[in-house]
C-alpha cells in the first residue's frame, strides 16, 4: 500500500510539472489569428495575419479574444488528458466531478464558435476544372453532316 501511495505521489508531482508547461496552439477558424495559450489563460505566443488588421480594430479585439479562449480550452483539455493518462480515467472522472466538466465534454465542438467575429480569409483562386464535352456520340449518328 505504501509503495502504491509513493508511486501515486510521484505521478502527481510529475503531473504538476507537466500541467504547468502545458500549452496549446489554436488557429481561429477564419485563419487570421493564431494563439498559443496555457491552461490558465496566459498567452504564450500570438500571431496576427496582416489581413485581420484590415478588418478594423473591433474585429481584431474580438478575434483575438475568441482565439485565446479556444486555445485555453484546448490546453485545459490536454491537461485533463495528461491527468487521465498519469492517474487513470477513474481519477480524471473524480476530478471532473469536483472541478467541473472538461471542455471536450462541456462544449459539443470547441473549435467552431457560434458566430465568427470577422469574415473568412479570401480563398485562393483555383483553376476551374475543364468542362468535359458530352462524350455521347448519339447526336453524330443522328445527323452525320451537322457536326462538321
Query: Applying CB under 8 A, which residues contact other proteins?
Result: 37, 40-43, 45-50, 52-53, 56-58, 60-61, 64-65, 68-69, 71-72, 94, 97-99
State the residue for C-alpha cell 480569409. Answer: 121
Other beta carbons within 10 angstroms of residue 3's beta carbon come to 7
Q: Which is nearer to other proteins, 105 or 147 (CB)?
A: 105
Cβ 13 to other proteins, closest distance in Å? 14
Q: Considering the complex, what minimum distance in angstroms separates the CB of residue 49 from other proteins?
A: 7
Comparing CB distances to other proteins, the nearer of 37 and 83 is 37
Q: 40 or 147: whose CB is closer to other proteins?
A: 40
Question: Which residue, 71 or 83, is less far from other proteins as judged by CB?
Answer: 71
Residue 81 C-beta: closest distance to other proteins, Å: 19
Angle, nearest 10°, between helix axes 57-87 and 89-99?
A: 130
Q: How far apart are the first and last CA of the chain?
A: 93
Angle (nearest 5°) at CA 76 between 74 and 5: 140
SS3 state at 74: helix
Beta carbon of residue 120, minimum distance to other proteins (angstroms, whole number): 18
In the chain, DSSP assigns E strands to 23-27, 33-38, 43-48
Amino acid at each position: 500500500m505504501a509503495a502504491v501511495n509513493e508511486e501515486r505521489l510521484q505521478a502527481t508531482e510529475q503531473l504538476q510539472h507537466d500541467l504547468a508547461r502545458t500549452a496549446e496552439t489554436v488557429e481561429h477558424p477564419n485563419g487570421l489569428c493564431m494563439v498559443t495559450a496555457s491552461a490558465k489563460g496566459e498567452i504564450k505566443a500570438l500571431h496576427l495575419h496582416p489581413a485581420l488588421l484590415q478588418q478594423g480594430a473591433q474585429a481584431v479585439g474580438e478575434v483575438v479574444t475568441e482565439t485565446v479562449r479556444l486555445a485555453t480550452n484546448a490546453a485545459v483539455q490536454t491537461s485533463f488528458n495528461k491527468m487521465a493518462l498519469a492517474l487513470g480515467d477513474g481519477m480524471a472522472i473524480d476530478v471532473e466531478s469536483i472541478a467541473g466538466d472538461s471542455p471536450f465534454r462541456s462544449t459539443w465542438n470547441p473549435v467552431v464558435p457560434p458566430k465568427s467575429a470577422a469574415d473568412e480569409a479570401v480563398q485562393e483562386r483555383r483553376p476551374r476544372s475543364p468542362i468535359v464535352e458530352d462524350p455521347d456520340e448519339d447526336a453524330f449518328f443522328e445527323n452525320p453532316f451537322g457536326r462538321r
